[in-house]
Amino acid sequence: MSVRVRFAPSPTGEPHIGNVRTVVFNWLFARKMGGQFILRIEDTDRVRYRPETIPVIMEGLRWLGLDWDEGPGLEELRHAGVENAEAYAVGGPYGPYIQSERLPLYKQVAEELVAAGWAYRCNCTPERLEEVRQTQRARGQPPMYDRHCRYRPPDAISPDEPHVIRLKVPLTGRTVFQDVIKGEVVFENAGIDDQVLLKSDGFPTYHLAVVVDDHYMKVTHVIRGDDWVPSTPKHVLLYQALGWDLPVFCHVPLVTMPGGKKLAKREGATSITEFRKQGYLAEALLNFLALLGWAPGEGETQEIFRREELIERFDLYRVNRAPAAFSYDKLDWMNGVYIRSLSPDELLERLLPFWQEAGLVPVPCPPPTRAVLRRIVPLIQERIKHLTDVVEMTDFFFVDIAPPSADDMLAQGLDAERAREVLRRTREVLADVPDFSEEAIEPPLRALVEELGLTNRQVFGLIRVATTGKAVSPPLFGTLSILGRERVLARLEAAERQFQP
């Protein structure tokens, strides 16, 4: 039987990076096993529901290269109010893939459970429930539903009045399940709450919906975050009540923030959209995420794995049991590695939107500008860790700079008189070179250093500040060449004027 796994986000916002890592494991496992990866939208929480996040979630997955074999089709996406639904519709033989489109199914299963004595109706008010919990807490007891309605006559609550349906958890015994990375996990039934399966608004809770859908969608491996472990016995009970085969459970450890603390906005990106905006490459993020909690083992020290290599080597059974802290440092390094591995043309394509976003390059990019960009790229390729870094590093190519302060230009220890001389002589030399190519510029400039009896650092440093306005810039000769004679001479002159009394 073919492996079938799923990612089932709740459209209440963008999944945080820990969830995304879990998706990566699901996807990798499906691809590795030649199985199917299913996308299912779990929109059963009507209070927090935000339909506009559905396409955002899908865009994120696509950007990362995590394609799904089955998922919401055209009609369901339109029902959900997704604009441009055609762009996202995939469909599949076990749809619908949006839970709000499957309500009758959940209702039917819940009623079957009631009829079979595995569930019961409950019309306790939220107020009563809260009261019960309060007193339990006060007594130091675990807060659980007190099963008030469980012991009322079956016809005490009419199917027509508002009520919920709860799972009738066995009072004794234990529920056991096997987990791919944890092994056997045991729960005492006495500690398991009579979970609500069907809410009073007719929507199922996660617990009912996930079991029903995973069953009917023929999901073979439930790979999800560790936080679901305590709910799993409820699901197991449901499978048993329904007489359905259990899927293989695999609870992967959670991802924490660098400090080891819970994932939270604040410091750094937490969603795919944010990483994308901050100039990370999809292939770098994928590589990084795959290695967060998983390693090929067997003494392997390689860390850079292309998508195909990840698929080939990924092993669900080797996923680490301990939680992993997200490391922006390591991601940044890896992003740099991927940036450096790109061809200059490819890098240019990736960089273009960031230059445009910053307003440095027009949209669309005119061919002559593109030619200039193509010359800039090799100069900055090994100097950026994020695509966004290019903006600050190259802005002086596109906009006029203010003449640098005298202080900035004297940072290399020259006095004003000397600095003026250097700038003047540089201007003379550069005015004379036959063409403004890097090759034509470098030798006379080096000769000038000799002539003035100064160091490379002193002379080139000054020229750098004068022409780019920065103490740190791409390599000088290439930079000057791209800037062009006219602008270089003008900036040198402006810089020189800074020393006029």
Cβ 234 to RNA shortest distance, Å: 9
Of 340, 370, 374, 497, the one binding RNA (CB under 7 A) is 340
Of 329, 417, 435, 439, the one binding RNA (CB under 7 A) is 329
| Contact positions with RNA (CB under 7 A) in 383-412 | 383
The residue among 373 and 480 lying less far from RNA, judged by its C-beta, is: 480
Cβ 325 to RNA shortest distance, Å: 4
Q: Is 475 in the site for RNA (CB under 7 A)?
A: yes
Contact range with RNA by CB under 7 A, out of 58-66, 78-86, 229-237, 355-363: 229-237
Give the N- to C-terminal CA distance of the chain in Å, as an integer: 85
Of 205, 220, 287, 498, the one binding RNA (CB under 7 A) is 205
The residue among 81 and 142 lying less far from RNA, judged by its C-beta, is: 142
The residue among 254 and 282 lying less far from RNA, judged by its C-beta, is: 254
Q: Measured between alpha carbons, how far is 333 from 398 in angstroms, rounded to an integer?
A: 28
Cβ 255 to RNA shortest distance, Å: 9
Q: Measured between alpha carbons, how far is 311 from 309 in angstroms, rounded to an integer?
A: 5
| Contact positions with RNA (CB under 7 A) in 25-84 | 42, 44-45, 47-48
Cβ 368 to RNA shortest distance, Å: 25
Look at phi and psi of residue 119 and say left if phi exceeds 0, alpha if psi is from -120 to 50, else beta. beta
| Contact positions with RNA (CB under 7 A) in 137-156 | 140-145
How many Cβ atoms are within 10 Å of 117's Cβ, its own excluded? 10
Burial of 421 (0-12, 13-18, 19+ CB in 10 A): middle
Structure tokens at 275: 């990483």
Contact range with RNA by CB under 7 A, out of 27-35, 83-91, 294-302, 370-378: 294-302
The residue among 356 and 436 lying less far from RNA, judged by its C-beta, is: 436
In sequence order, the β-bridge partners of residue 135 are none
CA dihedral 102, 103, 105, 107 (to 10 degrees): 170
Site string for RNA, 183-202 (x = CB under 7 A): x-xxxx--x-x--x--xxx-
Q: Which of 32, 168, 199, 265 is catalytic?
A: 265
Q: Is 370 in the site for RNA (CB under 7 A)?
A: no
**Is residue 470 among the annotated active site residues?**
no
Dump the DSSP string for 149-208. Answer: GGGS-TTSS-TTSS-EEEE---SSSEEEEEETTTEEEEEEGGGS---EEE-TTSPBPHHH
Q: Is 303 in the site for RNA (CB under 7 A)?
A: yes
Q: Is 464 in the site for RNA (CB under 7 A)?
A: yes
Contacts of 482 (CB under 8 A, 6+ apart): 372, 375, 376, 379, 397
Q: Measured between alpha carbons, how far is 108 from 472 in angstroms, rounded to an integer?
A: 68
Contact range with RNA by CB under 7 A, out of 25-33, 319-327, 363-371, 400-408: 319-327
The residue among 311 and 476 lying less far from RNA, judged by its C-beta, is: 476
Cβ 359 to RNA shortest distance, Å: 24
Of 293, 355, 396, 483, the one binding RNA (CB under 7 A) is 293
Q: Is 133 in the site for RNA (CB under 7 A)?
A: yes
| Contact positions with RNA (CB under 7 A) in 88-127 | 123-126
How many Cβ atoms are within 10 Å of 206's Cβ, its own excluded? 19
| Contact positions with RNA (CB under 7 A) in 273-292 | 291-292
CB-based contact 473:483 (threshold 8 Å): no
| 3 state SS for 99-112 | HHHCHHHHHHHHHH
Residue 224, SS3? strand
Which residue pairs from 159-162 have beta carbons closer than 8 angstroms and sit at least 24 positions apart in sequence?
159/111, 159/121, 161/123, 162/123, 162/200
Q: Is 444 in the site for RNA (CB under 7 A)?
A: no
The residue among 381 and 498 lying less far from RNA, judged by its C-beta, is: 381
Contact range with RNA by CB under 7 A, out of 4-12, 366-374, 402-410, 420-428: 4-12
| Contact positions with RNA (CB under 7 A) in 245-264 | 253-254, 256, 258, 260-262
The residue among 33 and 295 lying less far from RNA, judged by its C-beta, is: 295
Q: Is 206 in the site for RNA (CB under 7 A)?
A: yes
Closest Cα to residue 165, out of 187, 136, 194, 143?
194
The residue among 45 and 309 lying less far from RNA, judged by its C-beta, is: 45
The site that binds RNA (CB under 7 A) totals a number of residues, namely: 91
Closest Cα to residue 61, out of 282, 278, 239?
282
Q: Measured between alpha carbons, how far is 11 from 50 in angstroms, rounded to an integer?
A: 6
The residue among 321 and 497 lying less far from RNA, judged by its C-beta, is: 321
Eight-state DSSP code of residue 404: P
- Compute and round to an integer the Cα radius of gyration of the chain: 31
Q: Measured between alpha carbons, how far is 476 from 111 in angstroms, rounded to an integer?
A: 76
Q: Is 298 in the site for RNA (CB under 7 A)?
A: yes
Look at phi and psi of residue 268 and say left if phi exceeds 0, alpha if psi is from -120 to 50, else beta. left
Q: Is 164 in the site for RNA (CB under 7 A)?
A: yes
Cβ 471 to RNA shortest distance, Å: 5
Active site residues: 265
